[in-house]
Amino acid sequence: MVQLLQRWQQDPTATYHTWFRWEERIKNFRSIRRGLQAVVQEIDAGTFGNAYRGSSLETVVSAVAEQRQIFKGADHAFLWKPKLRIPDIYENPEHQRAFGRFLDECECCDDEAGVLQAIHTLDRHRIKGLGPAAANLLYFVHPTLAPPFNTAIVRGYNALTGAKVKLGRWDEYLAMRRGILELNAAHRSWLSNDLGAIAGFLFDVGKGRVPLPPAGDNAAARAAWATDLAQVRADAADLRLRAIEAAEDQSHTQIQGWLRDLGRALGFAVWIASNDRARPYADGRLSDGCLSKLPEPLQRSPAADAIGLIDVLWLESGGRVAAAFEVEHSTSIYSGIVRMLDLALGTDGMASCYFLVAPDRREADVRAQFARPAFSRVAELNLRYLPYSELETHRASIARFGQGLKPIEAIARALR
């Protein structure tokens, strides 16, 4: 089991990374809880109505269903199925009130006994079509007491434990819940008090993303399983890495394209980094309409190779660099500063403005690098930080009405 959990957590495509450690996951708990309170209030006031579409319940269940892959389809259990007359909480007022009391009791209690009592009370009503899929709502109220429930989780639990839990019955859910709590306690150091972690693991087992070892003590079969599993993880990691790299390259290229077009609109000649010139952008290449070679004064510089790799240069007539831009989407800010220094120290003051262009979230990183003792000479440069958001917001108006470097300097932030 420990080996399975280790490999599951190392897989970048597993729910552990894509959902459980998703930064927005916890933020959604609050809004879902508020939505459930609204459902209870409407049922209590008799204003809930008899339709799912457009109801407060649809709003909150839709928010649950949007919680990435583990909750995909969570709304199916609550969709009104007219031919089957299920779930019977829309046309039966008594059942609707029982459902409201169930949600209210679970929200108000703060211990296991209270949650279990609310479940048993609801189960006694035998509301047609309203089974343990409602536990997906409970999870967002009591994540340490009520695990989520769906077909993949059940399949994963049965495969892992040899149990025969069935869908659709609260007693089956409660039996599985007891087993999940025991598994979670036994492997707590690899999981969490939040039962979303183990639910995500079981979900991935049920979906076949976490292959289980063969039964028995066949050493050859276990060795083959270990090899196959390692290859699956390596392939998944490689695919994810390539996807991340492709997304980062695209973002980096887009910012270069914005700077290219803005520089040309302001009347400058533009140089695109020599290793990026052939990148596709818009309907052509990133270097379209730009200089095909560095001006002669820059070519003569001992740092010509490094200067040629600066992401974007705006040049005046005569080859003087009006502005240099290094785009640091996710790569080391260190390298961008080094190239700026090469330009400044290798061209005897041929550039007047230097910009580090980076996402807003990286401002602290930019300032931390700028403050390093190793870059004391950078303080002598007119080096500024240009956030993506400022460039995106103002580039069109600067291109239309701006002149010279004053507009771009105005939206950048000083680093001295």
Q: What is the pLDDT along the chain (416 residues), one digit of tens a residue?
A: 888 898 898 888 889 988 898 866 776 787 788 888 889 998 998 888 888 887 888 888 888 887 777 888 888 888 888 888 889 999 899 999 999 999 999 999 989 999 999 999 999 899 998 988 889 999 999 999 999 999 999 999 999 888 888 888 898 999 999 999 999 999 999 999 999 999 999 999 999 888 887 665 556 645 554 564 465 455 545 545 454 444 444 588 899 999 999 999 999 999 999 888 988 898 899 999 999 999 988 888 887 888 888 999 999 988 889 999 999 876 667 667 777 877 887 776 566 789 999 988 888 888 887 776 656 666 677 789 999 999 999 999 999 988 889 999 999 998 87
Same domain assignment for residues 64 and 171 = yes
The helix or strand, by DSSP H or E, that contains position 405, with its residue range, turns out to be none
Same domain assignment for residues 64 and 170 = yes
Cα–chain center distance at 411: 28
229 belongs to a structural domain: no
13 belongs to a structural domain: yes
Same domain assignment for residues 374 and 258 = yes
Same domain assignment for residues 257 and 201 = no
20 belongs to a structural domain: yes
Same domain assignment for residues 258 and 200 = no
236 belongs to a structural domain: no
Same domain assignment for residues 70 and 184 = yes
Q: What angle (nearest 5°) sits at the alpha carbon of residue 255, between those of residues 251 and 257?
A: 115
DSSP code per residue over 311-336: SEEEE-TTS-EEEEEEE-SSS-HHHH
Q: How far apart are CA 307 and CA 400, in angstroms?
A: 29
214 belongs to a structural domain: no
pLDDT at position 328 is: 86
* Residue 403 neighbours by CB under 8 Å, 6+ apart: 266
Same domain assignment for residues 272 and 127 = no
- Tokens standing for 175? 């039996």
pLDDT at position 230 is: 61
Same domain assignment for residues 119 and 256 = no
- Backbone CA torsion sign across 252, 253, 257, 260: positive
The helix or strand, by DSSP H or E, that contains position 120, with its residue range, turns out to be helix 112-124
Domain edge (last residue) among 206, 236, 257: 206
- Reported residue count of the chain is 416
Query: What domain count does the chain have?
Result: 2
pLDDT at position 331 is: 65
Domain edge (last residue) among 206, 233, 268: 206
Q: How far apart are CA 141 and CA 336, in angstroms?
A: 47
Place of tokens 């309203």: 130
Answering whether pTM is above 0.95, one says no
Same domain assignment for residues 186 and 59 = yes
Same domain assignment for residues 322 and 274 = yes
Q: Which domain holds residue 99?
A: 2-206
Q: How far apart are CA 316 and CA 151, in angstroms?
A: 65
183 belongs to a structural domain: yes
The answer to whether 203 and 149 have CB atoms below 8 angstroms apart is: no
Domain edge (last residue) among 149, 175, 206: 206
pLDDT at position 246 is: 46
Same domain assignment for residues 183 and 251 = no
- Tokens standing for 272? 């695109």
* CA-to-CA dists, residue 296 to 250, 264, 344, angstroms: 31, 20, 16
Which of 339, 359, 362, 154 shows the shortest CA–CA distance to 251?
359
Same domain assignment for residues 178 and 323 = no
346 belongs to a structural domain: yes
173 belongs to a structural domain: yes
pLDDT at position 391 is: 92
